[in-house]
Amino acid sequence: MDAAKKTRTVMRTAFTRALNDLTVRLTDANSGATDLNELRVFLQVFEDNNKALEDANSVYITCLIGSGDVKEEMIEAEIKSNDEYKRKYIRARMTAMTHLPAVANNGVNNVENLTADAKSTMKLPKIELRKFQGDVKEWLPFWSQFKKIHEDATISKGDKFQYLIQTMAPQSRAAELVGSFPPVETNYDSAIASLKNRFGRDEVLVEVYVRKLLKLVLKNVMKPEERIPLSSLYDKIEAQLRALESLGVTSDKCGAMLLPLVESSLPEEILRAWQRHPVPVVAEGEQNEERLTQLIKFLRSEVENEERITIAMHGFDLKKDERKTSKQKQHSDSAKNTPSAISLHAQGKPSKQLNCVFCESEHASMKCEKARKMTLDEKKSVLQRKNACFNCLKIGHQSRVCRGNQKCAMCSRRHVVLMCPDVNNQSGVAVAPSNVDDSKEKVLSNSNQTRGADVILQTLHAKIRNDREECVVRLFFDPGSTRSYIAKDIIRRMRYEPISEHKLKHSLFGNVTSEVKNHKKYLVHLSSLDNSYSCNFKALDEEEICAQIPLWEEQPWMDELEGLGIKLSDGPCRCDHAAPIRILIGADIAGKLMTGRTKQLKCGLTAIETHLGWTLMGQVPKYVDNNFACQVISMFQREACISDLWELDVIGINDPIKDKSRKARDDEVLQRFEETVTVNEEGRYAVCLPWIETHPILPNNKELAEKRLVTTTRKLRSSSMYDEYNRVLQDWLTQGIIEVVPDNEIDNEAHYLPHRGVVKRDSTTPLRPVFDASAKYESMKSMFKNPEKNLPKLMESFYVDNCVTSLSTMTEVEQFMYDASLAMSKGAFELRGWENSGSKTECRDISVLGLIWDKSDDTLRLMVPPIEKIMNEKITKRVILSYSHRVFDPLGFVCLVMITPKLLLQRTWVSKIKWDDEVDDEMQNEFKKWLSSLIQLNELRFPRWTFVSPIHDANITFHVFCDASKKAYAAVIFARVECASQIKVSFITAKARVAPVTSVSIPRLELLAAGMGARLARSTLSSLKMIDKKITYWSDSSTVVFWIQRNCPWAPFVANRVNEIRSLSNSDEWRHIPGESNPADLPSRGCTINTLRDVNWWNGPEWLKTHDSEWPVSNVTYCEDEIKNEIRKTAKVDESLLGSDIVSEVTQLNRTEKIQSFYVPQVSNFRTAVGAIARIKRFVSNYRLRKSINSEEPVVGDLTINEMKDAERTLFRIVQRESFNGIDDVQLRNMNVFVAEDGLMRMKSKIVERDDDFSFRYPTVLPGENLLVQMMIVETH
């Protein structure tokens, strides 16, 4: 900091000197005695000194802020001093500029001068000099930049030489050449000349850029399948031509040479389009344009057209899913996550080449067969020699700094199974226990394992050949694939030529079709290993067929193969490790290669003979080698790319932790806690952190942490808490809670936890650092091994770091305090700050879980937020939302008051007001009126203790009241405590919600309130552990009580909620209550705090304090229309379930009943039923012919199409007579139905005027619940 201050002092002195010199020149300028060019020089010097001073001020202010012992007043004084110098600069510069424009008018417009001056004030980023490596291809861009320095006469040659040295890349050929000259002025020209002779000769540069064009030509010829996008190809060609043009090789001179190169680098379709491109007609007297120039213009036009097409197709940034309906989205999503039997598991997208650290083959190190046979010490020796990690087997770091998230399946430690010491210490093969979990068996039946396959797939080795060579490849037989595939690397090696090209769609499991993809077809020449059989077949190309299919273990059952004389071409007896699959034999070829011979082995496997050799398939016997973990190989398809057809998440096989329920995960974390918890030497409990399985590596967030630190420091300084906060951290450092990161580890990859200060004035630690990471609190079950009766209560009483419970007597309180302190002290946890009702301490009001507890009178009250600032500010939707959640009321004491801002917020949504737009005056007045009334909440007191003491002598029942209005619906729970001497009614909890924006009928809102009341009662009684207590539900809606108590086929909205209510309560617990006696009426409409205080709403209804014989009785009358409207229209209704007063209309509405037709039990599908009716009608027709005098022959033979159609119409007429009571049936009252000429009831659709089939324009009306109609739907779809 001293150095920065000294620099700032020197810069201020220079600034003052330049200011004085400029002032003298300005005084002379007023008298006309100063040359204006000289004035410009002094002004420039003054501006340079000002810039240097600003930089020095910035450095010094930064040092002051970073220093912990500098007060804010000092920093503010320095900033004021800097501002004074800034004002001096601005005044002097403005004075100088008034003199300069007067003579700056020598043929130059004043506006242009002002514009240039304005541009000069902009601070542009610095241009860094390009580093020259000595590559001839880099000479032109390097020299185009350095040439400005070279030709600048104001720079000395010595300085130019220094710039030249700086632009040379260290340890490069160019740096060696320049370094051979001593860096003096006389050698500068020689150094430049040597550089130009070595790297800048025009003829060499021309060759370089011509070779680049030739490279594009060769790539187009040798690798036509690797197409370069046209825009990229155009940019590359244009870049080479521009470079050649700068070297003098222009299109007018060398166009005849360059044109064939450019044309040969273009794809075939572009070249054909170019040849069809019309030659522009040149007017007489004009010069004909070069053919190469025309080609470049054509390519530019093609690129621009592609850009326009892209903008037209994707210009609205809409993904394909966003233009679909919800049902289409669901269908699309299911298509992406649908398994397929077309092909085999692959590793999804092509990944980087994996080289094993043990054998250097192309497979993952953890799957190395060679490493499996090595001891643990041998593996570690190999890894140490190659500087690889013992945990993840990756090269470049050691295990102590490994950030991999792998986890051993055997011991749960952080290493791969291959490096597990527990596995390496075991030997032999163990038979799997017979009580293996069935659910696991279902997964493993579709899997292969790295230690050996549980299911063996049909693989074998064969020879692939061409006219000159042959090689051995590994094949896989997949009858589930409709096509055969061959890997592209084998195609290139065999130099096969494509015979055709096809655009294919792959049909997926679930009748889903993938996107279209181009595949080339090749003629493949294959033969068995002993050359006894050869064949040719056609296969499609694919970059990667599938992932590695591992070999199975050598087991005793393999002896049976030798006894049968079966020799496999693939397996552990033939090769040491599994080769990659290069050819997939699909169902189009597999059948021709099968000989028909099969052998069933005693172990359950099946040996199948093909013309290429024997293959093996099936599930292997349950020999389990505990040394290795399972790798699932599943068969499914997502898109047309074969290597994308087998991603595990497509068929819903996710990471196991994602599929576990929340309770299962909690149990697992708790089990891990119990297994790893220990007591250290200080007597404190120590436990491993509960790391999430397979969690991705945490990112390096150092930059974010530093920004948060700057923000925290600024806030602490502004609140004068910096020293106190720093003292806490220093205490932690002294105690060993935190530690300083060593200098050699500062630049390492790490994840930082930002921290901030939290102020709690009433706490024992008013200021504490809090790290921004959430740690889930787990049960302390492992601590409490003692059988004291208070310990279970202690375990249930913790909420974060607060312990809250209720006890009947002071004796029980003292005993609880003693037991809790003793138990917690065993883990070095100190419980302090005990408070209880009536305790005589200085502080009367205690903060408990967000509420204020007055321990003197044992009451609770709410915390009221400050409202003074907001009363005079702009009221927006954001403000209303913020303040509607400022009052923390977890039990719902004032939910009937807090519903008001929620209703206002709903109105802002309906009005489509933006978040930061001011609401209208009416809303503002309502909101401010509500806000000003919040101060009265301080006067409200609510009793903390609900029941009586002792509680076991009292009869406790719970009463849930539900009600709704057009605005909101609510539920409230009261406890009725009946003892020998009195009846006490206490408020338990309440909840109110705003009604939906969409119009909902009052009965449905009442049903929503009933459902909320049932859920609230279940959760509340579970928390109080009084689930066995009697409970009564009250609603003032007779319709809702009717819905709940009657078992009728209600419409979906009512049925779903009634079913939920019945699952949470008994239907006979629901009773009707008159509206004026319902205490839930007030929160459903909302009220003011004055009204709430006057009615003492939380004390409950007075009638509930009387004997149940005196409770209000209501004469229930049911609304027929409300009940009828919610009965499912096509349902069969049991009349005994409905009241006699509404039976007739509902019966007429639901008259339809499934009739057991004569034809239903006799047939199994729709087509059979139609055929049966057709033959019956033919029999009747033939019988009538036989009885008549006509000589017409009876009809015999197969049924005709007309007979089948006539029989189908007959069946439809039968179904309509059974299901409907004519066209006036109640079920058809909303349809435009008429009887057509064929006797069928048809409906007039909206497309009757369309030129289409009659049955399409007038569809037949059929009931969906009829069994025959359901058969027809199944058969048709």
| Mean pLDDT, rounded, for 43-54 | 87
The first and second tokens of residue 259, run together, are 């044109």
Query: Hey, which of 638-647, 1109-1118, 1267-1276 has the most confident mean pLDDT?
Result: 1267-1276
Determine the pLDDT at residue 948. Answer: 63
Determine the pLDDT at residue 1274. Answer: 84
pLDDT digits (tens, 9 = 90+) for 805-829: 887 777 888 888 888 888 887 777 7
Considering the chain, what percentage of its residues have pLDDT values greater than 70?
78
Confidence check: pLDDT of 964 > 80: yes
Query: pLDDT tier at 1031 (50, 70, 90 boundaries)?
Result: very high
Determine the pLDDT at residue 759. Answer: 77
Query: pLDDT tier at 504 (50, 70, 90 boundaries)?
Result: confident
Nearest Cα residue to 238 out of 258, 222, 252: 258
Per the model's pLDDT, the better-predicted residue between 505 and 11 turns out to be: 11
The sign of the dihedral angle between the CA atoms of 152, 158, 162, 165 is positive
Nearest-10 Cα torsion for 11, 17, 21, 24: 130
Determine the pLDDT at residue 181. Answer: 85
Determine the pLDDT at residue 1016. Answer: 93
Nearest Cα residue to 268 out of 225, 311, 235: 225
Confidence check: pLDDT of 1107 > 60: yes
Determine the pLDDT at residue 676. Answer: 77
Nearest Cα residue to 875 out of 838, 909, 917: 917
Determine the pLDDT at residue 1163. Answer: 67
Query: pLDDT tier at 969 (50, 70, 90 boundaries)?
Result: very high
Helix (H) / strand (E) element for 274: namely: helix 268-276
pLDDT digits (tens, 9 = 90+) for 1202-1224: 888 898 888 888 888 888 888 88
Determine the pLDDT at residue 221. Answer: 67
d(CA 664, CA 669): 9
Determine the pLDDT at residue 633. Answer: 35
pLDDT digits (tens, 9 = 90+) for 858-907: 888 888 887 777 777 888 888 888 888 888 888 888 888 888 888 888 88
Contacts 24+ apart (CB under 8 A), 684-691: 684/827, 684/828, 685/782, 685/783, 685/827, 685/828, 690/776, 690/778, 691/405
Alpha helices in 1150-1236 (DSSP H): 1166-1187, 1201-1219
How far is the CA of 181 from the CAs of 158, 188, 195, 1062, in angstroms? 12, 8, 11, 96
| Mean pLDDT, rounded, for 1123-1138 | 60
| Mean pLDDT, rounded, for 1012-1016 | 93
- DSSP character string of 777-836: ----GGG--S--THHHHHHHHEETTEE----SSHHHHHHHHHHHHHHHHTTTPPP-----
Name 987's bridge partners: 974
Q: What is the pTM of this model?
A: 0.38
Confidence check: pLDDT of 510 > 90: no
Per the model's pLDDT, the better-predicted residue between 396 and 994 turns out to be: 994
pLDDT digits (tens, 9 = 90+) for 691-750: 665 555 667 777 778 888 888 888 888 888 888 888 888 888 888 888 888 888 777 777
Confidence check: pLDDT of 1133 > 60: no
Confidence check: pLDDT of 628 > 60: no
Buried b (16+ CB within 10 A) or exposed e, 943-981: ebebbbeeeeebebebbbbbbbbebbbbbbbbbbbbbee
d(CA 86, CA 893): 61
pLDDT digits (tens, 9 = 90+) for 380-428: 888 888 888 888 888 888 877 787 777 776 677 778 878 888 665 544 3
Nearest Cα residue to 39 out of 77, 92, 112, 105: 92
- DSSP character string of 594-659: EEEEEEE-TTS-EEEEETTEEEEEEEPP-EE-TTS-EE------SSSSGGGS--GGGGT---HHHH
The first and second tokens of residue 544, run together, are 């990667």
| Mean pLDDT, rounded, for 236-247 | 75
Q: Which residue has the tokens 């006539």?
A: 1206
Kindly tell me the burial class for residue 646, based on how many C-beta atoms sit within 10 Å of its own C-beta (0-12, 13-18, 19 or more).
buried
| Mean pLDDT, rounded, for 518-543 | 89
Helix (H) / strand (E) element for 93: namely: helix 72-97
Determine the pLDDT at residue 152. Answer: 84
Determine the pLDDT at residue 951. Answer: 63
306 neighbors 231 (Cβ within 8 angstroms): yes
Per the model's pLDDT, the better-predicted residue between 626 and 1158 turns out to be: 1158
State how beta strands 798-799 and 767-771 pair.
unpaired
Determine the pLDDT at residue 269. Answer: 74
d(CA 779, CA 666): 10
Determine the pLDDT at residue 688. Answer: 74
358 neighbors 388 (Cβ within 8 angstroms): no
Nearest Cα residue to 584 out of 543, 534, 532: 543
Determine the pLDDT at residue 224. Answer: 67
Q: What is the CA angle 372-378-381, rounded to 5?
A: 130
pLDDT digits (tens, 9 = 90+) for 23-33: 888 877 776 66
Per the model's pLDDT, the better-predicted residue between 128 and 651 turns out to be: 128
d(CA 1001, CA 842): 55
Residue 1202 CB neighbours (<10 A): 9
DSSP summary character for residue 343: S
Per the model's pLDDT, the better-predicted residue between 882 and 676 turns out to be: 882
The sign of the dihedral angle between the CA atoms of 316, 317, 320, 325 is negative
pLDDT digits (tens, 9 = 90+) for 1068-1090: 899 998 888 888 888 888 888 88
The chain-wide mean pLDDT, for the chain, equals 76
Buried b (16+ CB within 10 A) or exposed e, 883-909: bbebbebebbbbbbbbbbbbbbbbbbe
447 neighbors 364 (Cβ within 8 angstroms): no
pLDDT digits (tens, 9 = 90+) for 936-952: 888 888 888 877 655 66
pLDDT digits (tens, 9 = 90+) for 1248-1258: 777 788 888 88
Confidence check: pLDDT of 115 > 60: no
Confidence check: pLDDT of 639 > 60: no
Query: pLDDT tier at 255 (50, 70, 90 boundaries)?
Result: low
SS3 category, 441: helix
Per the model's pLDDT, the better-predicted residue between 292 and 1275 turns out to be: 1275
pLDDT digits (tens, 9 = 90+) for 463-480: 998 888 889 999 988 888
Query: pLDDT tier at 953 (50, 70, 90 boundaries)?
Result: low
Confidence check: pLDDT of 775 > 60: no
CA 840 to chain centroid: 54
DSSP summary character for residue 1135: G
Determine the pLDDT at residue 287. Answer: 55
Considering the chain, what percentage of its residues have pLDDT values greater than 90?
5
d(CA 450, CA 552): 9
Nearest Cα residue to 699 out of 649, 656, 733, 750: 750
Confidence check: pLDDT of 1157 > 90: no
The sign of the dihedral angle between the CA atoms of 289, 291, 294, 296 is negative
Determine the pLDDT at residue 1012. Answer: 93
Strands annotated E in 432-560 = 448-449, 455-456, 459-465, 470-477, 485-487, 500-504, 507-508, 512-513, 517-527, 534-542
| Mean pLDDT, rounded, for 573-602 | 84
Per the model's pLDDT, the better-predicted residue between 1043 and 642 turns out to be: 1043
Lowest-pLDDT choice from 104-108, 675-679, 1129-1133: 104-108
- What phi and psi, each to the nearest 5 degrees, are found at residue 336? -80, -20
